[in-house]
Amino acid sequence: MNIIETHGLGKRYRRTWALRDCSLAIPAGSVVALVGHNGAGKTTLLNLLVGLIEPTEGSASVLGGERAGSPAALDGVGYVAQEAPLYQNLTVGETLRVIASLNRRWDQDQARSRLAELGIPLNRRVRRMSGGQQAQLALTLALARRPRLLVLDEPLAMLDPLARFDFMDTVMAATSRDGVSVVLSSHVLAELERVADHLVLLSRGRLQVAGPVRQLTAVHRVLCGPLQSAGRLLEQVPAVHVSRTDDQARILVNADIGKDGLPEGWRAQPASLEEMVLGYLREPDASALPEAEAQSEEVPA
């Protein structure tokens, strides 16, 4: 079963496409890293998946075929929005009562138990809580709805390293204990590499890469070798990005290339998730190669 499916999904605001031609199939049980520049279309995609906005074109379904935004879908999706908006003037206990009254599915015992484990008292006002505590409260509210899909939009942005680690540990515990699927949008690549098994990469409103992390990293390589022969090599390999030092070139390629397929002086090494993501997000650099060879670099990413 696919927890998320989209077909030709797109959203336009007046004349500007925030997202276009996005087709995905994400299996249930996945922890999905959603990455891209600011303005790449990440929040638009998440808002479409949770039903906060309607698509301009295409379709999106969740939970094995429920239309995104339908009552059946809403009952099974938990959402933590960017900056975790909360009622700042309420206490934690008052917040639980308000959110419980707004949801058909709600586990009050789980919410109270989790907050007690975190040392967050019910009589504390939200505005007096740290950024990490507020993020944990927002996550507690989402998990208390017993979702099958948890959607997190930049929840780590305002957290210190320890708070980020604790937050992600809670997410992963929910995944292993309750089988919750997760979509996590974040710029913190180190955290994503630690937890994600699936990658969705957007750039300029379009899908660039999607698939299981292991499969994607298995078919990407970083090639390092003499700058003077880089142009000829680029005529033979599907390059994603090229960088250089004074006499060396570094090429990210979408190809499983071993040392036997490389010119003399070149070596290949596996690409990490971070190297792969940054390679797709960086703009092509025409100055990465000597002028006579720069044309060879113009390979579509």
Q: Do residues 83 and 153 touch, judged by C-beta distance below 8 A?
A: no
Average pLDDT, the chain: 88
Over 50: is that where the pLDDT of 117 sits?
A: yes
Write the single-letter amino acid at 160. D
Average pLDDT over residues 171-176: 87
pLDDT at 284: 56
How many C-beta neighbours within 10 Å does residue 37 have?
A: 13
> What distance in Å separates the CA atoms of residue 243 and residue 261, rounded to the nearest whole number?
21
Mean pLDDT of 76-82: 90
- What CA–CA distances, in Å, run from 286 to 144, 230, 242, 250, 290? 51, 13, 9, 14, 9
pLDDT at position 294 is 41
Asked whether 283 and 298 are in contact (CB, 8 A), the reply is no
pLDDT (0 to 100) of residue 292: 36
Report the predicted TM-score, pTM, of the whole model to 2 decimal places.
0.85
Fold of 2-213: Rossmann fold (3.40.50)
pLDDT, tens digit, 9 for 90 and up, residues 209-237: 999 999 998 889 999 999 988 888 888 88
Sorted by where each begins, the domain ranges of the chain are 2-213, 219-297
Residues of the chain with pLDDT > 70: what percent?
A: 92
Q: What is the pLDDT of residue 283?
A: 66
Least confident of 23-27, 159-163, 212-216, 286-290: 286-290
Task: Look at residue 246 in the predicted model and tell me its pLDDT.
Answer: 83
